[in-house]
Amino acid sequence: MGLADDFIDNGFVRVDRAVPDDLVDACRTILWCDTGCDADDPATWTQPVVRLGHYAQPPFRAAANTPRLHEAFDALVGKGRWQPQGGLGTFPVRFPSEDDPGDAGWHIDVSFPGDDPADFMAYRANVSSKGRWLLMLFLFSDVGEHDAPTRVRVGSHLDVARLLEPHGEDGLDAMEIAERADAATEHRPVALATGRAGDVYLCHPFLLHAAQPHRGTEPRFMAQPPLLPAEQPRLDRSEAERSPVETAILRGLGR
């Protein structure tokens, strides 16, 4: 199976070594400084999660726009339909801890504002995925099964498409989707977003995913930016013009 087929069926693909080692190292050096922790002293790793702000410095922009990633964006979205990345956004840095991180619920990342643009929990998603082509998981550290890899429900994007369809252009907000999608997708198998530093997961925007506690030994560095549209996703394209993102939605709808 090819990249597009795997993406349509499973809701995600992993692009191995999408970010070169030198860029990974440059970005992680900046991130370590901003955590306020000492990389060589685990006694300073006192929180299960440290959330770092928006990152758009040159190494982050370069990491987000490698030729391998641009080729994959074209394959999954279509040439000219996506915006080059301005950076990598925020980083939830997860440290080994017995404490509950407090953010491990199943959800999708919503993509356009509701009535109050300042209220993120009122942000929404609709069946055409207005405002977002992809969810992306950029690994900036090696991530094994004990290193708080993101959990994903394989194929759940198909169920979420059906969940959203009756709600038209307005869609549902983040909490409504989380509450309904958990039950609608609990039959799906769970996969772990493991890999080497520099690997990138490209996920359908409707893929249900969740964090988890870190039971390993080394902090996990990951970014999860959206791929934003230069041209909005549409479900009325001809088959020849349709992207894998759109094809997957239509498959979920039984069309």
Q: What pLDDT is stored for residue 121 in this prediction?
A: 75
User: d(Cα 128, Cα 117) in Å, to the nearest integer?
Assistant: 20
User: d(Cα 13, Cα 15) in Å, to the nearest integer?
Assistant: 7
Helix (H) or strand (E) holding 174: helix 174-184
pTM: 0.96
State which residues of the chain have pLDDT below 70: 1
User: d(Cα 147, Cα 220) in Å, to the nearest integer?
Assistant: 6
Q: What pLDDT is stored for residue 1 in this prediction?
A: 53
Locate 67 and state its tokens. Answer: 């030729």
Q: Is the dihedral of CA 162, 109, 176, 150 positive or negative?
A: positive
- Cβ atoms 136, 85 nearer than 8 A: no
Q: Provide φ and ψ at 162, rounded to 5°.
A: -65, -35
Rg (CA), the chain: 18
Topology adopted by domain 3-37+44-252: Jelly Rolls (2.60.120)
198: left (phi over 0), alpha (psi -120 to 50) or beta: left
Q: What pLDDT is stored for residue 135 in this prediction?
A: 98
Extents of the domains making up the chain: 3-37+44-252
User: d(Cα 49, Cα 255) in Å, to the nearest integer?
Assistant: 42
Q: What pLDDT is stored for residue 153 in this prediction?
A: 98
- Cβ atoms 154, 188 nearer than 8 A: yes
